A = this chain, B = another copy of it.
Amino acid sequence: MTARMRVNGVATAQVSALDRGLAYGDGLFESIRFVGAIAPLWPRHMQRLAEGCARLRIPAPNPAQLWREALEVSRDMPAAVLRITVTRGPGERGYALPAAPQPTRVVAAFAPPPVAAGIYAQGVRLRVCDLRLAEQPLLAGLKHLNRLEQVLARAEWNDPAIADGVLLDSHGRVISATMANLFALVDGQWLTPALDRCGVAGVARAEVLAACPQVRVGELALDTLLGAGEVFLSSSVRGIVPVRSLDGRSYAPGTTTRRLQQHWRDLGFSMEQGG
């Protein structure tokens, strides 16, 4: 384990074994790309975390405190991915909310994931996952700690040439990749799936939607995706990544993908291609 971390501000690598984050996945997380001491999407991460805490009725952490701890754990790292985990804290047995919750916050810095050569220029290969996401509107959009579906979906393939898998819901609608949101150009119109029944509303997705107001949020059928002219993924860790193939179908990155990659560079990201 190479992470450096703080748990409730203390330099330790341990949490209570009675934490409800472990017992029930009762919490949320954020994965935040840092370039030195810069995290261009930090305000969006803090906004999503606050909204998630409100929806789960977890007292929200103080963003200024999180910022200080994030800088502490990533100090001297030229680039890092910070994982901030917020749980409802320790609890006795039972699902009922504690009367006076003492939330746990974990701030951990990791080295960025390795970037395969050419993924920003040429794009990545995807497959369609067999697992169908269950639909739970009360949890949809949240980056909560109940992620067994993503674990099982990611376990469907081992081929390192496949970068990610496309997830459909139980009605066959395209929702996202396992660790990124997805955008497709369909008949001249950019489209990204609605996430009101399942899926995670990514911070990078929100940045794309703000930068490209012409993108429509709606339903996306698999056949429509397979027939799209252009597809890219958005991720707070990897940025804007073109998709070059999905099962048998091929795509080529176009002007919107390139413009968004430039937008990422303009924000201050300095990875291979602005991711």
Contact = CB atoms under 8 A, between A and B. Distances in A.
Interface of A: 1-3, 5, 7, 12-26, 29, 31, 56-57, 81, 83, 85, 87-88, 90, 92-97, 106, 108, 110, 113, 131-136, 138-139, 144-155, 170, 178-179, 198
A93 B97 contact: no
Nearest to A197: B134
Contacts of A153: 95
A154 B97 contact: yes
A170 B18 CA distance: 31
A156 B148 CA distance: 24
A118 to B, nearest CB: 21
B110 A93 contact: yes
A72 to B, nearest CB: 15
B155 A148 contact: no
A152 B216 CA distance: 31
Contacts of A56: 148, 151-152
Nearest to A150: B95
The 3 closest A-B pairs by CB, nearest first: A25-B25, A134-B134, A146-B146
A237 to B, nearest CB: 8
Contact of A23 (B23, B85, B131, B179): B85
